[in-house]
Amino acid sequence: MSVTEIFGTADAPEAAVEPATPPETAPVETVPAVEPVKAPDRLLAEGRVEHIAMDKIDFTDETFKFRASLRLGPLKKSLASEGQQLPIVVRKVGKTKAMRYQIISGFRRATAMRELGYATIAAIIREDLEDDEAAFKASVIENEQRKTYSAIDRALVILGYKKAGYSSVAVGDLMGLTRKQASNIMGLLTLPQVVQDAIDEPDGKFTATHGLTLRTLLGKYPGLDAAKWVETVKAEGLSVKAMKRAVNKAHRPASRPPLGSIFNAGKTDTTAGVYRLSPVRVVVADLSSGERDALKAELRSLLEALG
C-alpha cells in the first residue's frame, strides 16, 4: 500500500446539504439542522445550524487551520454557481458584545464565501466544545471523514497538536495512522518547500511516497536539485521506483577505477593461510562481468581456506 493510499487524498467532493442562498439574498434566520456526523467519543455531536454574520467570525484566529494551501479557485466557482453546500463548524468565543465565532472546521468555505461577498454563512454552532482539545479533535475528525486533508495537511495537524502540548499518538489515532506512519508524515515537513508544495498539489503527480524517497536521496546526494526532480517526475510521470533509479543513475560517477584485489598483496600469504583484506567498496551493480568473476574467485579461495 502506498503512502498516498494510507494518507488519503486531498479535496474529496463535499457531501451536499441544503444549499445556502447566494450573498445578495442570503437570509439571516435559522435553517434546519443537518444530520449530525457520527464519530468516536461523540465529538461531532449535534449542534444547531444557523446563518451567522460573516463579520462576527474571527478570521485572524487560525487555531484549527491546518492547510498548506486553501486552493480557493474551484471552490469559489462552485459557490458562485451553486451556493454553499456544507455548513462550517464554529464555537463561540468571548461574552456578549465581544463574542466572536471561532472556526473549528471550514476555513476554505468561509474564506471563499467572504471573498465572494457573502454577508452570512451557514454554520453548525457547537455549544459543547468549551475544551480546546475536544475542539481540536472535532476539527480533525470532521475533515478526516470528508477526506479533505492532504499528506502535508496531516503533518501540520500533528505538528499543531504537539505544539499545543497534546500527544501526537492520540491525533495519529484520530487519522488512523500508526506511529511509523505519523513519523513518516512529519518527515515531509523537513523537505524543501518546493517538494512540499508538489506533494500538496491535488493532481497527485508527485506523491508523499515520492517525497519520502527524495528525502532519503537528498541525504545520499547533498548536491541533489530537488526542484529539478520534482519537475522531472511531474513532466515524465515517473513512478517512485523510476525516480529513484533515475536519480541514482544521474549521480553515479561517470568513471571509476577498476576494482582491484580484495587482498593486500604485501601482507597476504595464502600458503601460510594468512589473509589481509584491503579496504574496498564494492557496488555490485557497477561491476563488470570480469570484475564479478575475479571477486568470486577471491572469495571462493578465502572460503576454501576456512574449510
CA atoms of 56 and 79, how far apart (whole Å): 20
C-alpha cell at 3: 503512502
In a domain, 96, yes or no: yes
* Structural domain span for residue 215: 191-251
Average pLDDT, the chain: 81
- Give pLDDT, residue 19: 45
Cα dihedral 99/128/107/34 (nearest 10): -110
Q: Is the pLDDT of residue 57 over 70?
A: yes
- Give pLDDT, residue 47: 65
Q: Among residues of the chain, what percentage have pLDDT more than 70?
A: 82
Of the candidate ranges 68-77, 115-124, 186-195, the one whose mean pLDDT is the lowest: 68-77
On whether both 91 and 122 belong to a single domain, the answer is yes
> Nearest CA to 66 among 163, 134, 131?
163
On whether both 36 and 125 belong to a single domain, the answer is yes
On whether both 242 and 281 belong to a single domain, the answer is no
- Give pLDDT, residue 170: 76
In a domain, 172, yes or no: no
In a domain, 165, yes or no: no
In a domain, 163, yes or no: no
On whether both 81 and 202 belong to a single domain, the answer is no
Rg (CA), the chain: 28
- Give pLDDT, residue 137: 86
Q: Looking at this protein, which amino acid is placed at residue 270? A: T
- Give pLDDT, residue 122: 94
List pLDDT tens digits, range 250-269: 988 766 778 889 999 889 98
- Residue range 278-297: average pLDDT? 88
DSSP string, the chain: --HHHHH--SSPPPPP-SPPPPGGG---S--PPPPPPP-GGGTT---EEEEEEGGGB-TT--TT---S---HHHHHHHHHHH---S-EEEEEESSGGG-EEEEEE-HHHHHHHHHTT-SEEEEEE-SS--SHHHHHHHHHHHHHHTT---HHHHHHHHHHHHHTT--HHHHHHHTT--HHHHHHHHHGGGS-HHHHHHHHSTT-SS-HHHHHHHHHHHHH-TT--HHHHHHHHHHHT--HHHHHHHHHHHHS-S--PPP--SB-TTT-BGGGTB--B------GGG--HHHHHHHHHHHHHHHHHH-
- Residue range 212-222: average pLDDT? 94
On whether both 105 and 231 belong to a single domain, the answer is no
Question: pLDDT higher for 302 or 169?
Answer: 302
- Give pLDDT, residue 11: 37
Q: Is the pLDDT of residue 26 over 60?
A: no
On whether both 27 and 143 belong to a single domain, the answer is yes
In a domain, 262, yes or no: no
- Residue range 217-235: average pLDDT? 94
On whether both 141 and 8 belong to a single domain, the answer is yes
In a domain, 183, yes or no: no
Question: pLDDT higher for 46 or 120?
Answer: 120
On whether both 50 and 124 belong to a single domain, the answer is yes
Q: Supply φ then ψ for residue 168, to 5 degrees.
A: -65, -25
CA atoms of 78 and 266, how far apart (whole Å): 79
In a domain, 258, yes or no: no
CATH number at residue 116: 3.90.1530.10
C-alpha cell at 214: 527524495
Number of domains in the chain: 3
Question: pLDDT higher for 79 or 4?
Answer: 79
- Give pLDDT, residue 72: 82
On whether both 118 and 240 belong to a single domain, the answer is no
- Cα 220 to chain center, whole Å? 22
- Give pLDDT, residue 13: 35
- Give pLDDT, residue 46: 53
On whether both 27 and 139 belong to a single domain, the answer is yes
Note whether 151 and 159 are within 8 A (CB).
no
Contacts of 258 by beta carbon, 8 Å cutoff, 6+ apart: 291
In a domain, 92, yes or no: yes
pTM over 0.85, yes/no: no
On whether both 81 and 216 belong to a single domain, the answer is no
Q: Among residues of the chain, what percentage have pLDDT more than 90?
A: 36
> Nearest CA to 32 among 124, 97, 105?
124
Q: Domain boundary at 88, 113, 148, which?
A: 148
- Give pLDDT, residue 100: 92
On whether both 244 and 136 belong to a single domain, the answer is no
- Residue range 69-82: average pLDDT? 82
Note whether 26 and 119 are within 8 A (CB).
yes
For residue 124, the number of C-alpha atoms closer than 13 Å in the C-beta half-sphere is: 24
CA atoms of 155 and 209, how far apart (whole Å): 14
Confidence of residue 187 (pLDDT cuts 50, 70, 90): very high
Q: Is the pLDDT of residue 84 over 60?
A: yes
